[in-house]
A and B are shown apart, each in its own frame.
Chain A
Amino acid sequence: MKQLVFELMRESDVPDWVDLYTDAEVQHNINHRGGVVPRDEIEREVLGRLRTGWCDERMFRLRTGSGTTVGYVWIRHIDHIARSCEVLSMHHRNFRMRAGLLAVIATYEYLYDTLNMRSVVHEVYLGNRMMLAPDRLEALVQAVSPDHCNSLGTRRTCCWWVERKPDFEAAQRARAEQFARVRERVAGPL
């Protein structure tokens, strides 16, 4: 399996980050700031986070082994004592389907193993078209606020849920077992 490289974002990545952040599909899933805030102001905000916001948030670049940028991960509201955080991922168009799952797994591995987090809080607005099918979202949600986000011309419901490190590890084990079963069915017992 090809490995993705998770590395801290650099100031030279900021223009590409803003391009991706203001992409219509990405904006649809988060908010519509890209439609009301000028590009240079967004760039200044990101630079500010990189230079001084590192206590509560970290920004990363995800790339292939050959150096192509897959996307960016923004870890927010890091609580170093409760060992929890929120995560916002965005991937370039070419990597949204094929490498999307790999990118998500690489992100969680980094959060739990390298950053030593124990819980990740997820926040998704209804109408999100990228990450989860509606039935999957419904199964995960633990709390719902009816008017949390005012964007796309409407008040959007916000769904929250928490994934704990043991939940992630159990899902990884299930994935590995499923992969082993498929491999055995295709190749036969070794």
Chain B
Amino acid sequence: MTPEIVPCTTAQLRRRLELLTDHRMAFLGRDTRTDPVAMIEDWFRYVRARLFTAGDGLFGVVPNELNPHQAEIDIAVPGASAAEYTALLGAAIRLCRTHLDLHSVVRIEPNRDGRAAHLEPAGLRPIGVLHGCRFQDGDYHDQRLWWGQTA
């Protein structure tokens, strides 16, 4: 059965961001361990993010202002299995093509990312590693990037 990716209401967004906070999951570059939910909501409005429910989690799309057919995406689903992630991400990428006219997507690794292993089966390919991109907890941390075609 194809999983549903549904536009997220304001109330759902708040509840799900709180859920991600409980699971210490970062999302779309925002760290729920350091950024308050209200701040993340404000940032989503600023970058005109499209947000969807995906299972018990969130799928988000931030348009690339330099290319209208590309966007940054992320998905965070607390407790999801590998198979659930692959199915949800596959459906989300199809929606990017059919409803948002996106030709390609980029995903930038957030902090503490346990989701990376599920991206490649869903069609995203690694395009590099930014070495020492962020400094936190007294040390430098790398950040990986993925790219995928929506069709």
Residues of A within 8 A of B (CB): 31, 79, 81-84, 118-119, 121, 141-151, 155, 160-162, 164
Q: Is B128 an interface residue (CB 8 A)?
A: yes
B66 close to A151 (CB less than 8 A) = yes
> 18 more A-B contacts (CB under 8 A) besides A142-B129, A148-B64, A150-B68?
A81-B31, A82-B136, A84-B135, A118-B132, A118-B140, A119-B132, A119-B134, A119-B140, A121-B130, A121-B133, A142-B128, A143-B129, A143-B130, A145-B106, A147-B103, A155-B67, A162-B130, A164-B140
**Complex Cα gap A121–B135 (Å):** 12
Q: Is B86 an interface residue (CB 8 A)?
A: no
Chain A: minimal CB distance from B51 (Å) = 20
A160 close to B68 (CB less than 8 A) = no
Could you say which of B104, B133, B134 contacts A147, with CB atoms under 8 Å apart? B104
Could you say which of A83, A150, A155, A160 contacts B130, with CB atoms under 8 Å apart? A160
Q: Is B131 an interface residue (CB 8 A)?
A: yes
A143 close to B127 (CB less than 8 A) = yes
B66 close to A84 (CB less than 8 A) = no
The A interface is mostly helix, strand or loop, or mixed, namely strand
Query: Count of B residues near A, CB < 8 Å?
Result: 24
The B interface is mostly helix, strand or loop, or mixed, namely strand
Name the residue on A nearest B130 (C-beta): A162
Q: What B residues does A162 contact at CB under 8 A? A: 130-133
Q: What A residues does B53 contact at CB under 8 A? A: none
Among B69, B104, B131, find the residue whose CB has the most chain A CB atoms closer than 10 A: B131
Q: Is B147 an interface residue (CB 8 A)?
A: yes
**Complex Cα gap A127–B132 (Å):** 26
Name the residue on A nearest B104 (C-beta): A147
Could you say which of A31, A81, A160, A164 contacts B66, with CB atoms under 8 Å apart? A31
Q: Is B32 an interface residue (CB 8 A)?
A: no
Q: Is B145 an interface residue (CB 8 A)?
A: yes
Could you say which of A79, A147, A164 contacts B132, with CB atoms under 8 Å apart? A164
Q: Per-residue 0/1 for B72-98: is the Cβ within 8 Å of any A Cβ (1 yes, 0 no)?
A: 000000000000000000000000000
Name the residue on B nearest A158 (C-beta): B66
